Amino acid sequence: MNHPDGNIKLLVLLGISVMLLLFVSFLLVFISTQRRKYQYQKNLQRLREAQRDLLIEAAVRSEESERSRIAEALHDEMGALLFSAKLHFQNIRLNENDPGNWPLFCKGQEMLDEAIRKIRGISHNLHSSILQEFGLFEAIKHFLRTSVDEHLIEAGTSLECQYTPASKEDAVSVYRMVQELVNNVLKHAHARKLHISCVNNGGVLVLTLFHNGAGLTQEQFEELKFKQESMGFKIIQNRLILLKGKLFFSIRPDGCYIDLYLPQTL
């Protein structure tokens, strides 16, 4: 049985073609619009990141210059003043008739020596001359030697890998992060062992801090770095952004590991 109007088949075929064509055209327009939007968003994101990096860089640089200024002032002014005070102190003639003066004199000299040592320590911590003269790894070794009480913690380093930071500022940033992490371990982990090692993994420097105390998991670190009171982690985070590095915390059966990944092309 045939329909009086034979064009119905043509109508179906034409209808399918037109609908499909319209939908596909619509889809293509949509995809190209979305791509343009995506590209725009990517560019915007790149701009935002560049701006953020600039701000962080400026903050880090100003922090470093302030540290240098304070270190210089402490070393050159306070240190010199205390040393001069010590010399004057040494030249004091004590009254031999009063034997009680001698222990006081000795105590005063001891305190002056301690103050000079502390000032020098603070000054070195604020602005490591070893870092400037002997490089990052020597500075880390020196920092660990001076800040760890060897009676309480067994500390050591294996820093024999090749690593050339792009600039002195970058080396300072790595040093500051290690300083902050070591200080955190000393302060919170109650560890008996602390070891810093490095490997060069295909152009990426991996600095590993191992300790056997109470460590953090990655999730805890992610939480802590957004807390108001975690200033140290914020400083680390800013420097990581600047160096385009990554930090991973893990707890394994033998102890806790903190892996700092830094690209060689700093």
Cβ at position 175, least distance to other proteins in Å: 21
Identified binder of other proteins from the candidate list 78, 199, 204, 241, rule CB under 8 A: 204
Based on the shown chain and the rule CB under 8 A, indicate whether residue 226 belongs to the binding site for other proteins.
Answer: no
**Of the ranges 9-17, 137-145, 154-162, 228-236, which one interacts with other proteins (CB under 8 A)?**
9-17
Residue showing tokens 């990096």: 53
CB neighbour list of residue 76: distance below 8 Å, 6 or more residues apart: none
Q: Is 234 exposed, middle or buried (0-12, 13-18, 19+ CB in 10 A)?
A: middle
**Of the ranges 1-9, 70-78, 107-115, 225-233, which one interacts with other proteins (CB under 8 A)?**
1-9
Identified binder of other proteins from the candidate list 219, 228, 229, 254, rule CB under 8 A: 219
Cβ at position 179, least distance to other proteins in Å: 22
Based on the shown chain and the rule CB under 8 A, indicate whether residue 22 belongs to the binding site for other proteins.
Answer: yes
CB neighbour list of residue 159: distance below 8 Å, 6 or more residues apart: 137, 140, 141, 196, 197, 198
Q: How many chain residues are in contact with other proteins, going by CB under 8 A?
A: 33
Cβ(143)–Cβ(128) below 8 Å: yes
Q: How far apart are CA 245 and CA 263, in angstroms?
A: 6
Cβ(264)–Cβ(244) below 8 Å: no
Cβ(52)–Cβ(241) below 8 Å: yes
DSSP 167: S
Residues 247-266 that bind other proteins (CB under 8 A): 248, 250, 259, 261, 263
Written as one string, the DSSP assignment of 88-150 is HHHTPPP-TT-TTHHHHHHHHHHHHHHHHHHHHHHHHHHS-HHHHHH-HHHHHHHHHHHHS-T
Based on the shown chain and the rule CB under 8 A, indicate whether residue 15 belongs to the binding site for other proteins.
Answer: yes
Query: Considering only CA atoms, which of 247, 154, 155 is closest in space to residue 208?
Result: 247
Based on the shown chain and the rule CB under 8 A, indicate whether residue 48 belongs to the binding site for other proteins.
Answer: no
Q: Which of residues 3 and 151 has its CB atom nearest to other proteins in the complex?
A: 3
Q: Which of residues 155 and 242 has its CB atom nearest to other proteins in the complex?
A: 242
Based on the shown chain and the rule CB under 8 A, indicate whether residue 59 belongs to the binding site for other proteins.
Answer: no
Q: Which of residues 122 and 251 has its CB atom nearest to other proteins in the complex?
A: 251
Based on the shown chain and the rule CB under 8 A, indicate whether residue 3 belongs to the binding site for other proteins.
Answer: yes
Q: Which residues bind other proteins (CB under 8 A)?
A: 1-3, 8-9, 11-12, 15-16, 19-20, 22-24, 26-27, 30, 33-34, 37-38, 41, 204, 218-219, 222, 244, 246, 248, 250, 259, 261, 263
